């Protein structure tokens, strides 16, 4: 009996570890997508209280039961909760193959597949995209550089507003983040199709939407515009937006978490421009030096 009790204790420890891992993944995914817990609660119709429990590793035990069912059948839990029809066996085999690769080999595999099966890329030196978190200086630098070069300056968020006919806040309030993502992809495709040369700024969370971010990387020479967390926050507040500080006493912690979860994604850019401690003129000159114009 003692051995059986010990085995059950081990199972409970494993379940606890899994729930904490699940909570951490939910928290990191939320941060990567730039969503506060309040916004996620609204869009998911799940209470903030439950989300807080979930993120702290105290989720509903039913997920453990579903995990046990999946393990008993010898399939990943993700296969049971995936939405949509059963995926082709070729995709399953490809996914299993890719899962065995190192990060470096995965990057090479993506490049090979993209070159072989993706759309024919334009001259990536002519379309330049700035990515990074709000407050890094993307719009200011992009507009200044475009003016000096005499080429179009395009803010993807403004294109989304024109396409939808409403402001970004209204898109999120009325239709949620999924609608914003659809507009984001549609507008980026239109920009790439219509413009041979331009400077584009994208929303900070575009990196969390794989297909759209991949389109940006394949069509544009990308520059990650970055700054320290303190400068990010200071510039946003200087623009007159005090909501980050008013709505969330832990705003800086959230900002650092977002930067941490997106760093590897932002790092896929072709170049990095650190605006910390630089004037606008210095940043614009450095940007032009980076893009080689």
Task: Please give the chain's pLDDT, 293 residues, in tens.
Answer: 344 444 555 655 677 887 888 888 888 888 877 788 888 888 878 888 888 888 888 877 677 776 776 776 676 777 766 766 767 878 878 888 888 989 889 888 887 887 777 655 555 568 999 999 888 889 999 999 999 999 999 999 999 999 999 999 899 888 888 889 999 999 999 999 999 899 999 998 899 888 899 899 989 999 999 988 888 777 777 766 555 444 555 677 778 888 888 888 999 999 999 998 889 999 999 999 998 86
Alpha-carbon distance values, 292 to 146, 269, 271, 279, 285 (Å): 13, 16, 11, 20, 11
Is there a contact between 48 and 42 (Cβ–Cβ < 8 Å)? Answer: no
51 with 173, same domain?
Answer: no
Cα separation of the two ends of the chain? 76
Total domains, the chain: 3
Cβ-in-10-Å burial (0-12, 13-18, 19+) of 19 comes to buried
Is there a contact between 168 and 160 (Cβ–Cβ < 8 Å)? Answer: yes
74 with 187, same domain?
Answer: no
Q: Which of 30, 60, 83 corresponds to the end of one domain?
A: 83
Note down the domain range covering 57: 2-83
b or e along 176-198 (b: 16 or more beta carbons within 10 Å of the residue's beta carbon)?
A: ebeebbbbbbebbeebbeebeeb
* 38 Cβ contact list (under 8 Å, min separation 6): 48, 247
The whole-number pLDDT of residue 240 equals 60
The whole-number pLDDT of residue 145 equals 95
Return the structure tokens found at 119.
């759309």
162 with 284, same domain?
Answer: yes
206 with 268, same domain?
Answer: yes
Q: Residue 71, SS3?
A: helix
258 with 174, same domain?
Answer: yes
The whole-number pLDDT of residue 195 equals 92
Q: Which of 99, 119, 139 corresponds to the end of one domain?
A: 119
148 with 238, same domain?
Answer: yes
162 with 263, same domain?
Answer: yes
Is there a contact between 135 and 236 (Cβ–Cβ < 8 Å)? Answer: yes
183 with 255, same domain?
Answer: yes
273 with 161, same domain?
Answer: yes
Can you tell me the distance from the alpha carbon of 232 to that of 195, in angstroms, rounded to the nearest whole number? 30
Q: Which of 119, 140, 173 corresponds to the end of one domain?
A: 119
Report phi then psi at 242, rounded to 5: -95, 5
69 with 154, same domain?
Answer: no
The whole-number pLDDT of residue 284 equals 95
């Amino acid at each position: 009996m003692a051995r059986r009790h010990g085995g059950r204790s081990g199972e409970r420890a494993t379940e606890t570890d899994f729930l904490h891992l699940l909570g951490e993944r939910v928290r990191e995914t939320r941060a990567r997508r730039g969503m506060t817990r309040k916004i996620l609660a609204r869009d998911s119709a799940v209470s903030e209280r439950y989300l807080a429990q979930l993120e702290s590793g105290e989720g509903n035990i039913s997920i453990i039961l579903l995990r046990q069912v999946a393990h008993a059948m010898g399939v990943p839990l993700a296969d049971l909760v995936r939405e949509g029809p059963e995926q082709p066996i070729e995709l399953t085999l490809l996914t299993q193959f890719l899962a065995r690769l190192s990060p470096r080999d995965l990057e090479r595999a993506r490049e090979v597949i993209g070159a072989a099966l993706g759309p024919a890329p334009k001259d990536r030196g002519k379309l330049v995209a700035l990515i990074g978190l709000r407050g890094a200086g993307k719009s200011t630098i992009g507009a200044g550089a475009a003016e000096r070069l005499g080429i179009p300056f395009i803010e993807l968020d403004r294109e989304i507003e024109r396409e939808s006919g409403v402001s970004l806040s209204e898109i999120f309030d009325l239709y949620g983040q999924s609608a914003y993502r659809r507009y984001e992809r549609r507008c980026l495709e239109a920009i790439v199709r219509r413009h041979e040369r331009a400077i584009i700024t994208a929303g900070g969370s575009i990196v969390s939407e794989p297909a759209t971010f991949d389109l940006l990387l394949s069509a544009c020479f990308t520059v990650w515009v970055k700054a320290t967390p303190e400068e990010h926050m200071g510039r946003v507040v200087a623009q007159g937006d005090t909501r980050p500080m008013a709505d969330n006493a832990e705003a800086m912690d959230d900002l650092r978490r977002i930067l941490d979860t997106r760093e590897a994604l932002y790092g896929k850019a072709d170049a990095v421009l650190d605006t910390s401690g630089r004037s606008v003129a210095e940043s614009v000159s450095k940007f032009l030096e980076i893009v080689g114009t």
